[in-house]
Chain A
């Protein structure tokens, strides 16, 4: 039962997404009523494929027996999920603070944080990796490729 539910849930969600897509297309894409192959044509086509594929998958799932496969649960899966969330927070901080702290400071902090999340516990190595990467990347992008990197509001 649990296996079937696990198989069905994403397909049902995809089907619902396809239906929502059908409903929002008129509000998101303007089209002259006379046009058949206008800007809405391909979005409607993709929504149709998503709904049909989901329905066919759901029917197949309901009509076939679920294999009794043992699901491998990693011991550290919760810990792993926590690390993924921490990486996402790290990226979000980089994005939010880049215009305020500037590229060098926020990249130093974000790289050090990522090293810690990935399990490095050596302060010396974390410092070295963060400093070398940040200044190396800054030199490469800002000076070699002439890409303007934010210097921040504080400096």
Chain B
């Protein structure tokens, strides 16, 4: 399945882009997608699928947009 990934802040810098489309195996969850892309990073991230916050255990579907949110720093 094809999933659009969004990166912000430290993740955007590490990946060198703010968005990319990747091919992931069926059954991939938000958290396993993160571990696949950022192995061993050990950063506590939050996940948003199609702009709604979801737990990391959420399974992805073809065409989803998955955003990885590193710890927030607004204010």
Binding partners A and B: no
Q: Which residues of A contact B (CB under 8 A)?
A: none
